[in-house]
Amino acid sequence: MKDLNPYVEARREWNDRYLDLVQARRWWQIAAVAELALAGVLGGGLVALGLQHKTVPYVVEVDALGAAIAVKPVEAAGRPTDERIVRYQLAAFIRGTRGVMTDRVAMKRGLDQVYAYARGSARAFLDDHYRANNPFEIAKTYTVLPAVTSLLQLSERSWQVRWNEEQRGLDGTLLGRSNWEAVLKVETVPPATADAIQMNPFGLYVREIRWTKQL
């Protein structure tokens, strides 16, 4: 066996060391890319979870003293199970849409609640009505006090509402009375956001409005 050339062996040892360093760096690069990909996937998952609605509305039943006696999540039913809820909300809707008061802040709050109950063509109907009958301008001359007299369910999705209105001057003088009738079409859409739960917890909406003044 011939003697090994020390220069060649030194070169081979240097190449081996350099190759080991290159391979180690390559493995670290692969590991870093894998970690970045994993972090991206986890970050995307957290963002997706954050965008999902997690608000769960609850109904709390209380006794005469205000103590809670039953708590349960709101059921995603087609409409509120208690007809009294529907009647109350529709009566409040009519009072809010037709009422005119001198307290501008209270009236603005009432109109916000009215629009929280309206969807679809009902909102367009209200827009047209308020453009032609600006309640804030009317309040400079007289007020309007509506009083619901009857609510009759025509079908599963339609209600007939009758009410009378008193128009009074700013000094309280009675200026006139009138009788009205409306047909409201309703639907139930379970609330999905915290704001919707606050403004319309039962998700009962008025979809269509037709009202007329009775002679």
Token output for 77 = 């039913």
Q: Do residues 171 and 92 both lie within one domain? A: yes
Q: Which domain holds residue 31?
A: 1-52
Strands ordered across the beta sheet of 204-214:
142-153, 158-169, 174-188, 204-214
Q: What angle do helix axes 104-117 and 83-98 make, rounded to 10 degrees? A: 130
Q: Do residues 117 and 160 both lie within one domain? A: yes
Please, are residues 94 and 182 in contact by the beta-carbon 8 Å criterion?
yes
Closest CA to 93 of 138, 136, 139, 148: 148
- For the chain, how are helix, strand and coil distributed in percent, rounded to 5? 45, 30, 25
Question: Rounded to two decimals, what is the model's pTM?
Answer: 0.63
pLDDT bucket at 198, cuts 50 / 70 / 90: confident
Q: Is the C-alpha dihedral spanning 128, 132, 136, 139 positive or negative? A: negative
Residue 59 included in any domain: no
Residue 73 included in any domain: no
Per-residue pLDDT tens over the stretch 101-129:
999 999 999 999 999 999 999 999 999 99
Q: Do residues 91 and 19 both lie within one domain? A: no
Q: Using the 3D structure, point to which of 36, 52, 68 is the last residue of a domain.
A: 52
Q: Do residues 90 and 159 both lie within one domain? A: yes
∠184-189-192 over CA atoms, to 5°? 145
Residue 111 included in any domain: yes
The pLDDT of residue 11: 60
Looking up residue 163, the CATH number of its domain turns out to be 3.10.450.230
Number of domains in the chain: 2
Per-residue pLDDT tens over the stretch 50-102:
666 556 666 656 566 656 555 566 555 445 557 888 899 999 999 999 999 99
Specify which of 36-45, 46-55, 150-159 reaches the highest per-range mean pLDDT: 150-159
Strand 204-214 and strand 158-169: the pairing is unpaired
